[in-house]
Amino acid sequence: MKPGPRVAEEDVKSERLTLRVHSDLIEILQKRADERNMSRSAYVEALLIAWVQADPRNPKIDAKGKYVENAPSPLEEMNKNSLKFGAKWSDFNKLYALLFGQSAPSKWVDEPQDHWMGEG
C-alpha cells in the first residue's frame, strides 16, 4: 500500500471531537457529505469552520481551522473599520437567527471585553 502524502507537523490534526447524535441526523449528514464528495467527518469539520469564520468575534482561521498568522485580532478589526465589522456582525446575526430563532445577544459586541474577541 502506498503511503499518503506527508503532512507538515503544524498541520497535523491532534484533537478529536466526538458527538453522540441520532441516526437520522447521521443519515442526512452522510447524504450532504456525499453530494460534496467528502467524508462525513470532513463535511462536519467544514461546517464548523464556516460557523467559526462567520462570527466576527473569533480570530481569523484558514480552511483547515488554523489561526491565520499576523491577522489583526477581531478587536483590532472592530476598532479599525467599524462599518466593515458591523456588516460582518449583521451577516452573523442573520445566520444566528436562522439557526437559533432569535438574534445574537447584542452585548456580545456592545461589551467586547466580556465576550472573547480572539485576544489572550
- The percent of residues above 90 in pLDDT, for the chain, comes to 72
List C-alpha distances in Å: 81 to 67, 75, 76, 116: 21, 10, 9, 19
Q: Identify whether the C-beta of residue 106 lies closer than 8 Å to the C-beta of residue 95.
A: no
Question: Within a domain: residue 39?
Answer: no
Question: Within a domain: residue 89?
Answer: yes
- Identify the pLDDT of residue 120: 57
CB-side neighbour CA atoms (13 Å) of 49: 15
- Identify the pLDDT of residue 6: 73
How many independent structural domains does the chain possess? 1
Question: Within a domain: residue 107?
Answer: yes
Question: Within a domain: residue 104?
Answer: yes
Question: Within a domain: residue 100?
Answer: yes
pLDDT in tens, the chain (120 residues): 677 677 777 777 889 999 999 999 999 999 999 999 999 999 999 999 999 999 999 999 999 999 999 999 999 999 999 999 999 999 999 999 999 999 999 999 888 888 888 775
Rounded CA separation 55/95 (Å): 9
- Identify the pLDDT of residue 4: 67
Question: Within a domain: residue 8?
Answer: no
What is the domain extent for residue 120? 71-120
Question: Within a domain: residue 52?
Answer: no
Question: Within a domain: residue 96?
Answer: yes
